[in-house]
Amino acid sequence: MVQMEQDALRKHLRTLLEEGLQTEVEPRAYTSEDINHLVHRLQSLRPDDYEGKLQIAGFQLDPYRPPGEVGGDIVQSCETCMYYVVHRQYCELPELAIPVEKDWSCRLWRI
Amino acid sequence: MANLLWLQGGACSGNTMSFLNAEEPSACDLVTDFGINVLWHPSLGVELGDNLQKILRDCISGAIPLDIFVFEGTVVNAPNGTGQWNRFAARPMKEWVRELSDVAQYVVAIGDCATWGGIPATAPNPSDSQGLQFLKRNHGGALGKEFRSKAGLPVINIPGCPAHPDWITQIVVAVATGRGAEVALDDFQRPKTFFQSFTQTGCTRNMHFAYKVSATEFGQRKGCLYYDLGCRGPMTHSPCNRILWNRQSSKTRSGMPCLGCTEPEFPFFDLAPGTVFKTQTVMGVPKDLPLGVDKKGYIALTGAAKNAAPAWAEEDIFVV
């Protein structure tokens, strides 16, 4: 996917989220079993089912702050996620593989 | 001339195969250049039956001085502590191990099974296996915590699944040439010369580790394998990226995660489904952080490193 296509797709994904696409922000995938379950669900989607990807991964437009996290040292955003490629602004988790923005977040976040 | 005897307990012979591929020095060099007399070895020994038993008995009686006793594989205790599941030369192997260890100048455990029990001792450990002086992280094992060979050293542990061939031959040469006392051991009785540094030391992906760029699939030519694919390189003591395998490469260099096979807990998480080749996390943070790094520091470093990452770190750099 060339940069222009990625930019256009990122804009489209943002619009979907801004217009109120309901995503599964919670429960978070905090155990290996949870993560495997979500990844399996994502694997069942067509590669271009972007709405489905946003919904299952629980994307939102803002960083996620776990309730009760003292000091807020774990702020979950694409910016700090291991799947995020900074310069391309892209999520490289093979099951997602979508352009994102640094302040977005999803429940497959890992640092 | 130093007499060496090599026996196998609960083993797959992987360490023997590794040993036979040694290059610096080679298995042949041990005999021709370093004066090591191989009394018997499962793949090299020519004696069988009564003749082999005589060698073993002569070692125990002192008729043949036993300088180096090498053991590969676990000490099998099942069933019910008898060791009958692993019989060798007409008796349980564990009895040979005990008596030969008592008369040897040096005892060397080769591979994870002989050092800490390895895969056979993974729960539920049906063969009731132990390493020579450890069972996983617990000191003791088949010979007991206080065991010392006649030269005054505990068992020299050379772990790995398998151990690198040159780790084996270099330590054998060191003890055979009278430099055994110079072999400094760590808390797990591993030679520090090999096991003080980390598997990550010398890894060609260290730049990706530093800039927090993750590999997400096996064999990728960029990205660190620690963040997602379960690589244990930052927590594992081994020289796998200093003393290369086949003089060519290493797991991490070729895009496969380190499994941590030189550490007592190997295989980690008792091989529970979903735990192999996947970094285990708690709330998105790796359960096992690089040794000596705390959670807060790790999170702070990650944010800074990703912000500082140059564009080239996101591209394949090992192009053909």
- Whose CA is closest to A75, among A86, A62, A60, A91? A62
Give me the residue from B214, B217, B314 closest to A87, CB to CB: B314
The residue of chain B with its CA nearest to that of A97 is B216
The residue of chain A with its CA nearest to that of B227 is A82
**Chain A residues touching residue B314 (CB < 8 angstroms):** 85-88
Residues B77 and B83: beta-carbon distance below 8 Å: yes
**Chain A residues touching residue B279 (CB < 8 angstroms):** 110
| Sequence spans of domains, chain A | 3-99
Rg of chain A (C-alpha set):
13
pLDDT for A69 = 58
Q: In CATH, what number does B197-320 get?
A: 4.10.480.10
What is the spatial distance between Cα B122 and Cα B129, in angstroms, rounded to a whole number? 9
Angle at CA of residue A63, ends A60 and A66, nearest 5°: 105
Place of tokens 């222009």: A4
**Chain B residues touching residue A87 (CB < 8 angstroms):** 309, 311, 314
- Residue-wise pLDDT for B3-25, tens only, equals 999 999 999 999 999 999 999 99
What global pTM score does this model have? 0.91
Q: Do A111 and B274 touch (CB under 8 A)?
A: no
- Residue-wise pLDDT for B71-89, tens only, equals 999 999 999 999 999 999 9
Q: What's the ipTM?
A: 0.87
Give the architecture (CATH level 2) of B2-193: 3-Layer(aba) Sandwich (3.40)
- Whose CA is closest to A49, among A101, A96, A8, A93? A96
- Residue-wise pLDDT for B170-208, tens only, equals 999 999 999 999 999 999 999 999 999 999 999 999 999
**Pairs of residues, one from chain A and one from chain B, whose beta carbons lie less than 8 Å apart:** 67
Confidence of residue A72 (pLDDT cuts 50, 70, 90): low
Secondary structure (DSSP) of B33-61: TT-EEEEE-TTT----HHHHHHHHHHHHH
Torsions phi, psi of B38, nearest 5?
-80, 105
Provide CB contacts within 8 A for B50, sequence distance 6+.
Answer: none
Angle at CA of residue B107, ends B103 and B108, nearest 5°: 160
Q: Do A84 and B213 touch (CB under 8 A)?
A: no
Tokens standing for residue B166: 């040159």
A103 min Cα distance to partner chain B (Å): 13
| Sequence spans of domains, chain B | 2-193, 197-320
Average model confidence (pLDDT) across chain A: 92
Task: Report mean pLDDT in 10-residue bins for chain B, 320 residues.
Answer: 97 96 94 96 94 98 98 98 97 98 98 98 97 97 98 97 97 95 96 97 95 91 94 97 95 95 94 89 92 92 92 84
Q: Centre a 10 Å sphere on the Cβ of residue B112 and count the other Cβ atoms it contains.
A: 31
